[in-house]
Structure 1
Amino acid sequence: MVASLIRLKKDLTLNAFNQSAWHILGTIFAGLYGLGIVGMLFVLQVTEGAAESADPETVRIASVLMGTAVFLLWLIFPLFISGSDSAMNPRQFITYGIPRSALILGTALTGLISIGAVLTLVWLIGQVVHWRWDPAAAVTAALTLPLLLITFSLVSQAVTTSISAWLSGRRARDFLAVLALTVMVLVYPIVIGIENAFSSLAEALPTVVDILALTPLGAGAALPADVAAGDWGAFGLRLVILAATVGAAVLIIRAGLVRITERPGAQRSSGARPAQGLGLFDRFPATPWGAVAARASIYWFKDTRYGGTLVILPALVVLAIVMYSQFDHPWVLLALGPFFGFTLGFAISADISYDNSAFALHVTTGVSGVADRLGRLAGLMTFALPATALTALVPAVMFTGPATTAVLVGVSLGMLFSAAGLSCLISARFTYPVPKPGDGPLSQPSGSSGRLMMVQLGTMVASLLLMLPEIVLVAIWLLAELSWLAWVPAVISVIKGLVLCWLGVVLGGRVYERSQPELFQQVTQY
């Protein structure tokens, strides 16, 4: 049975390449990107492991930190794909009567058939090279290689099974995925906080590594260091930690499988109160575009595929504040306004793709192209406009004068309008696979990477090119040092952005009406 599961994963992995050229392109790009990062780490391991220049403490710190990062990636990656239709999800095997022990071992081994497992194997081989200056430590790194690889896979499978068994609700999955991404964004502030607790980061690292080496995150990577130092007590303790991690992962997987296959239980009622009134539909005009705007606003605040953006942006504000406190560069905060404008304007470039089969509502009710484009744009502007204005205005008032404030606010709003207008046109012309309704906000369906990257990259480049007039005007204003001209780039940026919004709605509406059947066919196929 275990062999059958392995063959199944192998066949599914190979057959995925038959879907489209975009999938092949995306997979190759992702593999090369990961290989580039692992390649740099491998070069670091080879350099630090030279016998004539190896520093035991430096090698230990680097080894534990890299091991912790790899462990965390295996731990949080299932959160990103928790909403996707994973073929190896334990729920897919409920009706097959597979023995529990075989299913545990099979899913753990199938986790090793992936690009991530190959990249991890390259890093583990680099660990052996990293410790080559001490033969005993190198042998230890080689012997623990398969143990660490299976530990990573078991921990990853434990997370996947836990989500499937106890956190199968859509809100829980989405919350975990957004939380994981938020934590990743806040890694830098966390590191700065640790550094501030010490006189320098170099002083903090040994203490941090000592703590990580006593946790499942870094225990496995610290084993060669214990052998090199002859600290057999610490070596035994870390083996116990590693064994306990494997045992806990197996127990979690087993308990999750019992919950899934034997005691699924009935879904609890949410206990929500009956809805009263029409909600946001009462807040917008009783027109076709108003109905579309209300529907789009509901998506923004209740569908985490959209709302994930709203959660990440405040985390970026925190990141900018920490960077300013660290380096005392006001530009970090001043850049928030234009960044928010660009990001939020770009956010509706895939609105039709996100509709999926719900796009039939627009097709069957005969919503005009202008009403569809205008409604989606209005739904975005209800929160994007004040958010962009505030993030541009507050730092500008704090650090600059009236002239610079006017330029910054005007350019930020202009960037929002320009990007949103372009998105109104792009989303009616180009679609690509996106997370389906109910999927995690960060999951991507198979075959989406290549086309997604091409469309998004093209949209971003086009949005930046549309901002060239503002950039030129701001440059002239700065070089001429004429403060009374500050209102010129500000007003021109806003007016040009509004014109682009109008063009995006009109032209996007024409494209929408001309290609409506094809759009519906594409999004339902995705």
Structure 2
Amino acid sequence: MVAALIRLKKDLTFNSFGQSAWHILGTVFAGLYGLGIVVMLFVLQVGSGSPAEVDPEMVRTVSVLMGSAVFLLWLILPVFISGADTTMNPRQFVTYGIPRRSLILGMALTGLISIGAVLTFIWLIGQVAHWRWDPAAALTAAVTLPLLLVSFSLVSQAVTTSISAWLSGRRARDVLAILALTVMVMAYPIVVGLEAAFSSLEAALPAVVDFLALTPLGAGAAMPADAAAGNWAALALRLLIMAATLGVAVLVIRAGLVKITEQPSVRGSAASKSATGVGLFERFPATPWGAVAARATTYWLKDTRYGGTLVVLPALVILAVVMYFQFDQPWVLLALGPFFGLTLGFAISADISYDNSAFAMHVTTGVSGVADRLGRLVGLMTFALPVTAVTALVPALLFTEPDVTLVLLGVSLGMLGSAAGLSCLISARFTYPVPKPGDGPLSQPSGSTGRLMAVQLGTMIASLLLMLPELALVAAWLLGDVSWLAWVLALGSVLKGLALCWAGVRVGARVYERSQPELFQQVIQY
């Protein structure tokens, strides 16, 4: 049975490449990107482990930090991809009566059939080279290589099974994914806080490494250092930690499988909930574009595929403030407003793709292109305008003068209008696969990477090119110190953003009406 599961995962992996050329392109790009990072780490491992100039403490520090980072990636990635790739989800095997022990072993081994597992194996080979200056340490690194691989796979599977068993609800998955993304964004402020707690980062590293080496994150990577130092008691302790980690992972997987197969939960029907009123539909004009705007705004508030990733925007503000005080670089805060404008304006570039089958309402009811484009734009602007404006004013609280604040506000709102207008045009013709209704906000369907990157990158570049006049005026204003240019720049940016919004709606409407059948076919296909 274990062999059958392994063959199934192998066949599913290779068959996925036959879906589309975009899928192959995206997979190759992601693999090359990961391979480039691993090669850089491999070079670092080989260089820092040179017998000629070896620093045992530095080698131990690098080993534990990299090992902890790799373990953490295996731990948190299932939170992001749960709901994207469900081929080996435990729930898929409920009706087959597979023995629990075989299913646990099979899922652990199938977790090693992936690009991530191959890249991790290359990194583990680098670990052996990292400790080659000491025979005992190199031997320990080689012996623990399969142990670490199995540990990574089991812990990752434990997270996947736990999410499937106890957090299978859409809201729970979305909260987990957003929380994980927020923690990643806040990683730098956390590091800065740790550095402030010590006299310097150099003083903090030994304590951090010693702590990580006593946790499942870094215990396996610290064992070669214990062998090199002849500290066999510490090595035995870390081996015990790894064994306990494997045991806990197996117990979690087993409990999850019991919950999935023997104790399924029965959810109440959503229809039993009482609902009154028509929500935002009574707050927008009773016109076709008002109805579209009300629906789009409702999606932004209730569908986490839309607004879920925007939850991290406050964390980005905190990150920028911390970096400003840490490095005394004003540009970090000055770039916040334009960055938010570009990001939020780009947010409606995949609105039709997110509609999924609901796009049929626009097709069958004959919603005009202007009503569709304008409604989606108004739905975005209800929150994007105040958010961008407030973010652009953050530097004014710390250091900027009135004319700088005026320019920053105008450029930020202009960037929002330019990007939103361009998105009204792009989304009327180009679509790409997005998470389906009910999926997590950070999941991506198979085969979407290549087309997604092409459309998004092209839209971003076009948005930046549209802002070249503002950039030229900013350069003239800074070099010439002409105060009246501040008013020209602010007013010109806003007017140009409004003009591009109008053009995006008008031209996008014509493109939308001409390509509506193709759009519907593409969305249904996704």
Query: Scaled by the length of structure 2, what TM-score is found?
Result: 0.98
- Given the superposition, is the C-alpha separation of residues 502 and 367 from structure 1 closer, same or farther in structure 2, using an over 3 Å criterion? same
Whether 1:252 aligns to 2:261 is no
- Which residue does 1:297 correspond to in 2? 297
- Which residue does 2:125 correspond to in 1? 125
Number of aligned residue pairs: give it.
526
Contact 1:177 1:441 (C-alpha < 8 Å) held by counterparts: yes
Whether 1:285 aligns to 2:264 is no
- Which residue does 1:323 correspond to in 2? 323
1:327 and 1:479 map into 2 onto residues whose CA distance is: 24
| Shift of residue 501, structure 1, vs aligned partner | 0.2
* CA displacement 1:409-437 (0-9 Å, x = unmatched): 00000000000000000011100111111
| Shift of residue 268, structure 1, vs aligned partner | 4.7
1:211 and 1:33 map into 2 onto residues whose CA distance is: 31
| Shift of residue 272, structure 1, vs aligned partner | 8.8
| Shift of residue 207, structure 1, vs aligned partner | 0.4
Whether 1:411 aligns to 2:428 is no
- Which residue does 1:427 correspond to in 2? 427
- Which residue does 2:373 correspond to in 1? 373
- Which residue does 2:267 correspond to in 1? 267
| Shift of residue 398, structure 1, vs aligned partner | 3.4
1:252 and 1:186 map into 2 onto residues whose CA distance is: 28
Q: Which one-letter code corresponds to 1:44 in the other structure?
A: L
2:254 and 2:288 map into 1 onto residues whose CA distance is: 52
Considering only aligned residues, what root-mean-square deviation do their CA atoms show, in Å? 1.2
Which secondary structure does the structure 1 equivalent of 2:175 belong to? helix
Contact 1:397 1:405 (C-alpha < 8 Å) held by counterparts: no
Q: What aligned pairs does 1:22-421 form with structure 2 within 5 A after superposition?
A: 22-268=22-268, 274-396=274-396, 398-421=398-421
Structure 1 regions of 5+ residues with no counterpart?
Answer: none
Which secondary structure does the structure 1 equivalent of 2:398 belong to? helix
Whether 1:476 aligns to 2:466 is no
* CA displacement 1:143-164 (0-9 Å, x = unmatched): 0000000000000000000000
| Shift of residue 216, structure 1, vs aligned partner | 0.5
| Shift of residue 269, structure 1, vs aligned partner | 6.4
* CA displacement 1:456-493 (0-9 Å, x = unmatched): 00000000000001111111111111112210011111
Q: Which one-letter code corresponds to 1:257 in the other structure?
A: L
* CA displacement 1:480-525 (0-9 Å, x = unmatched): 1111221001111111110000010011111111111111110111
Q: Which one-letter code corresponds to 2:2 in the other structure?
A: V
Q: Which one-letter code corresponds to 2:30 in the other structure?
A: A
Which secondary structure does the structure 2 equivalent of 1:54 belong to? coil
Query: Scaled by the length of structure 1, what TM-score is found?
Result: 0.98
Whether 1:16 aligns to 2:16 is yes
Contact 1:48 1:130 (C-alpha < 8 Å) held by counterparts: yes
- Which residue does 2:519 correspond to in 1? 519
Which secondary structure does the structure 2 equivalent of 1:429 belong to? coil
- Given the superposition, is the C-alpha separation of residues 237 and 271 from structure 1 closer, same or farther in structure 2, using an over 3 Å criterion? farther
2:485 and 2:221 map into 1 onto residues whose CA distance is: 60
Q: Which one-letter code corresponds to 2:357 in the other structure?
A: S
2:272 and 2:226 map into 1 onto residues whose CA distance is: 55
Q: Which one-letter code corresponds to 1:9 in the other structure?
A: K
2:39 and 2:490 map into 1 onto residues whose CA distance is: 46
Contact 2:309 2:441 (C-alpha < 8 Å) held by counterparts: no
* CA displacement 1:207-234 (0-9 Å, x = unmatched): 0000001111101111101111111111
* CA displacement 1:156-192 (0-9 Å, x = unmatched): 0000000000000000001111111111111111111
| Shift of residue 271, structure 1, vs aligned partner | 11
2:238 and 2:386 map into 1 onto residues whose CA distance is: 52
- Given the superposition, is the C-alpha separation of residues 230 and 272 from structure 1 closer, same or farther in structure 2, using an over 3 Å criterion? farther
Q: Which one-letter code corresponds to 1:467 in the other structure?
A: M
- Given the superposition, is the C-alpha separation of residues 203 and 272 from structure 1 closer, same or farther in structure 2, using an over 3 Å criterion? farther
Q: Which one-letter code corresponds to 1:69 in the other structure?
A: A
Q: Which one-letter code corresponds to 1:489 in the other structure?
A: L
Contact 2:178 2:309 (C-alpha < 8 Å) held by counterparts: no
1:113 and 1:468 map into 2 onto residues whose CA distance is: 47
1:485 and 1:34 map into 2 onto residues whose CA distance is: 46
| Shift of residue 273, structure 1, vs aligned partner | 5.9
Contact 1:350 1:427 (C-alpha < 8 Å) held by counterparts: yes
* Identity %, equivalent residues: 79
2:54 and 2:271 map into 1 onto residues whose CA distance is: 62
Which secondary structure does the structure 2 equivalent of 1:389 belong to? helix
Single out whichever of 169-178 and 325-334 deviates more from structure 2: 325-334
2:56 and 2:262 map into 1 onto residues whose CA distance is: 51
| Shift of residue 48, structure 1, vs aligned partner | 0.8
Contact 1:403 1:484 (C-alpha < 8 Å) held by counterparts: no
Contact 1:346 1:420 (C-alpha < 8 Å) held by counterparts: yes
- Given the superposition, is the C-alpha separation of residues 283 and 151 from structure 1 closer, same or farther in structure 2, using an over 3 Å criterion? same
Which secondary structure does the structure 1 equivalent of 2:286 belong to? coil
Structure 2 regions of 5+ residues with no counterpart?
Answer: none
